[in-house]
Structure 1
Amino acid sequence: MRVVTTDAGLGRIEDGAVALLNTAFPHVGAVLEQEGSLRCLASCAVRRRISIDEAALVAPLGRPRAVWGVGLNYVSKAARTGRGLPEQPILYLAASSGVSVPGAQVVIPQAVTEPDYEGEIAVVVGRRLYQATEAEVWPAVAGITAANDMTARDVMRTTGTPALAKSYPGFTPLGPSICTPDDLEDCHGIGVRTWVNGELVQDDTSAGMIFPVADLLSRLSWFAVLEPGDVVLTGTPAGTGQDRACFLADGDEVRIEVDDVLPLVTRIVRPADAAQRDHRLTEPVS
């Protein structure tokens, strides 16, 4: 099942259209908080159908309670940077206030000199995970979606703190759709591709992860409880702006494609002066 959140409510993607559902849940995060999975949406009656092009898609999860990330989790990325493979995941928390709506414009703060994109597979937790085995992880996953784990490389370098480099408003675009695990073609080889202004710059699959999804979430759950609706960003492959020495500029468009979900598009705005900092940033639903 593929689920979206629109300004008119929750919907299923069916035959290239959005089937708007007869449910009081405002977004996927609310469903998971109460139900622990998205299965209840499979049997919801359909109010009406609209084309995907007509649907105003919003942040599918609302504002997640927690957004976890992992650094250096692809063999291709380690090879590009010349670093050895880590023995343990390099984990961090990013501010959930950085989550933005699919298709939103992201305003780069003036102080940031090296804004970068990171195409990633985002895993959405369905059921509570604590000290979980690898075998317990996928049954507790609600679904996957696309993420652009944007990073201020200059801030990362000067502070050494991922949470600061990744938590600016709008720096964590998620969505627009969520695919449940039973609809994934191959949960062990999920493709992720990134296009910047129409140029393919990242192309890999989850088979290239150093710590695969089940291993990663299992390890994380031994230190922190993962609750329904939490998001785990699973790392980015080679081909980021850091790798290419080419950072994001005003007017750039980043398109991230993750297998089995709708593409995630981010548009970059770089104000010329401080007076332009109030450029509208679409807020995620609460």
Structure 2
Amino acid sequence: MQVVTTQAGLGRIEDGAFALLDTAFPHIGAVLEQEGSLQCLASCAVRRRIPLDEITPTALLGRPHAVWGVGLNYLSKAARAGRGVPEQPILYLAASSGVSVPGAQVVIPPAVTEPDYEGEIAIVVGRRLHQATESEVWPAIAGITAANDMTARDVMRTTGIPALAKSYPGFTPLGPSLRTPDDLADRAAIRVRTQVNGELLQDDTSAGMIFPIPDLLSRLSWFAALEPGDVVLTGTPAGTGQDRACFLADGDEVRVEVDGVLPLVTRIARPLDAAPRDHRLTAPVS
């Protein structure tokens, strides 16, 4: 089942159209908080059908309570960066206020000089996961969607703090649709592709992850309880702007495609008359 939150309401994608559901839930996040899964939406009556090109997707989950991410989780990315494979996931927590709706324009702050894209598979938690085994992970996942885990590379380099480099308003585009795990052709090899201005720059599958999805969420759940509606970003493959020393510019369009869900499009705006300002933060002293 593929589900979308739109201006018209919550619905399923069926036979190439949007089926608006007869439900009082405003978004998927509200369903998960109450139900722990999306199964109740499978049997909802359809109020009417709308062509896909006439819908306007909105915030898929409302505002997630938590957005977790992991650095250097693809073999291709580690190889491109010339870095060794980490023994433990490099985890971080980003501000949920940075989540933006699909199709939104992201305005780059004047202080950021190296804004970058990161196409990723986003996992949405359905049921609480705490001290979970790997076998318990997929049954607790509500679904997958596309994410663009944008990063200010200069801020990351200057501060060494992922949360600061990734939490600017709009820096976590998410959506527009969510696909339930039972509907995935191969959970172990979910493809993620990223295009910038129509040029394919990232193309890999979750089979190339250093810490596969069940392993990653299981490890994370031993440090923090993952709650319904939480999002876990699973890392980005090679091909980012950092890899090419080419960062996002005004007017760029980033398109992230993840198997089974609608493509996520982000448009970049950078005021030409905005002069960079001091971050007022420096790297920590060891």
TM class by smaller structure: over 0.9
Tell me how large the CA RMSD over aligned residues is.
0.8
For 2:20 and 2:76, the matched residues in 1 are separated by: 40
State the match for 1:144 in structure 2. 144
Question: Once the 2 structures are TM-superposed, how far is the Cα of residue 130 of structure 1 from its aligned partner?
Answer: 0.2
- In 1, Cα distance between equivalents of 2:8 and 2:176: 15
Shift of 1:94: 0.4
CA distance in 1: counterparts of 2:268 and 2:168, whole angstroms: 13
Contact 1:74 1:210 in 2 (8 A): yes
Deviation (angstroms), 1:274: 4.5
CA distance in 1, matches of 2:185, 2:103: 26
Partner of 1:175: 175
Q: Which runs of 5+ in 2 are unaligned?
A: 276-286
Q: Give the 5 Å matches for 1:38-187.
A: 38-187=38-187
**Residues 68-115 of structure 1 deviation map (CA, whole Å, 9 limit, x = unaligned):** 000000000000000000000000000000000100000000110000
Task: Answer whether contact 1:123 1:233 (CA < 8 A) is retained.
Answer: yes
Paired with 1:59 and 1:117, the residues of 2 have a C-alpha distance of 20
Identity, % of aligned positions: 86
Alpha-carbon deviations, 1:174-231, whole Å to 9, x = none?
Answer: 0000000000111100000000000000000000000000000000000000000000
Is 1:202 equivalent to 2:198 in the alignment?
Answer: no
CA distance in 2 between partners of 1:274 and 1:159 (Å): 22
Which residue in the other structure is 1:191 paired with?
A: 191
- Report the 3-state secondary structure (helix = DSSP H, G, I; strand = E; otherwise coil) of the residue aligned with 1:218: helix
TM superposition score normalised by structure 2? 0.95
Instruction: Report if the CA contact (8 A) 1:127-1:140 is conserved.
Output: yes
Q: Describe the SS at the equivalent of 2:37.
A: coil
Q: TM-score, normalised by structure 1?
A: 0.95
Tell me the secondary structure at the aligned position of residue 186 of structure 1.
coil
Specify the alignment match of 2:8 in structure 1. 8
**Cα shift at 1:272:** 1.8
AA aligned opposite 2:73: N
Structure 1 runs of 4+ aligned residues shifted over 2 Å read none
Residue 25 of structure 1 aligns with an amino acid whose one-letter code is F
- SS where residue 223 of structure 2 aligns? coil
Matched with 1:268 is 268
Q: Give, in whole Å, the separation in 2 of the partners of 1:101 and 1:27.
A: 12
Q: What are the ranges of 5 or more consecutive residues in structure 1 without an aligned counterpart?
A: 276-286
Residues in 2 aligned to 1:187 and 1:168: alpha-carbon distance in whole angstroms: 31
Distance 2:77 2:274 in 1: 35
Paired AA for residue 240 in structure 2: T
CA contact (8 A) 1:2 1:179 kept: yes
Q: Would you say how many aligned residue pairs link Structure 1 and Structure 2?
A: 275
Conserved in 2, the CA contact under 8 Å of 1:67 and 1:95? yes
Contact map agreement 1:166 1:172 (CA 8 A) in 2: yes
